[in-house]
Amino acid sequence: MDRARAAGPVWEPLEDADLPLAPEDEANDLDRDVAQTVHQRALFLAQAAWSPDRLELFSVLTSFLFADPEPGAYAHTAEQYQMPARQVKAEMFKLRHDYAVAFHGEIRQVCLPGDDEAEMKPLLTLVPRL
């Protein structure tokens, strides 16, 4: 008998082992992948409506897309881009609308007819965490 067998089984560290995923983990990974893809495509479609000279503002406003900004963030953005604060709010409203329309449209591309609403809600909960 060789020494390796005599010493007993050799165990791989758990983090190095190639363990199969549980079905619910596979589903979660798939949902996360779909959410990321749909989110990226929706952002791309929403961005297409913005002129090239306003893409920096678009980028700033996307940071407010899923969370309310800190107090004074709109005023700071307005000052930075030399526009009234109400215009920043209007641009944010338009961005949220365009993103929602694009996201919904992308969901329709990957779901069966009639399933889009049921599929959209769980994916939307994943997007802010991507």
Establish if 11 belongs to a structural domain.
no
Establish if 19 belongs to a structural domain.
no
**Which of 99, 67, 36, 106 shows the shortest CA–CA distance to 91?**
99
Reduce the DSSP state of residue 26 to 3 states and report it.
Answer: helix
For residue 103, the enclosing domain spans 25-129
Establish if 1 belongs to a structural domain.
no
Report pLDDT for 19: 45
Establish if 94 belongs to a structural domain.
yes
Establish if 68 belongs to a structural domain.
yes
Establish if 7 belongs to a structural domain.
no
Residue percentage of the chain with pLDDT more than 90: 35
At 30, the pLDDT band (50, 70, 90 cuts) reads confident
Establish if 17 belongs to a structural domain.
no
Distances (CA, A) of 63 to 39, 82, 87, 101: 13, 19, 17, 18
Q: State the total domains in the chain.
A: 1
Report pLDDT for 31: 76
Q: What are phi and psi for residue 94, nearest 5 degrees? A: -65, -45
Establish if 107 belongs to a structural domain.
yes
At 116, the pLDDT band (50, 70, 90 cuts) reads low
**Which of 56, 32, 130, 50 shows the shortest CA–CA distance to 98?**
50
